[in-house]
Structure 1
């Protein structure tokens, strides 16, 4: 696996250990994209954020 894959693996492991903090980060990134695009891609960002949360086993209950 390359450097990017190694980094992604480490991030996933950290997120599994701290799901509440990871949820806040995902929600913040999602909010930022939605703000900068005028919510034009809100459905896609919601879908992407849920996929990220599932990847580290979060319930995704953090509000945006």
Structure 2
């Protein structure tokens, strides 16, 4: 059961990082993507979600070693 949450947190971390880097590094973005991710509150939410998923990944990794 712990491995399931470990895998889930690792996938969430990868997806959040990919969404953040795609948002920042895209040279030409569509209008819908620009409207969806251009707001500062959405960027802050994505950064917090990424930090939380990284934290949970480390927590599950430590608990799996005990």
TM-score normalised according to structure 1 size:
0.42
Which of the pair has the greater relative contact order for Cα pairs under 8 Å at 6+ separation? 2
Which structure carries more helix by proportion? 2
TM-score normalised according to structure 2 size:
0.41
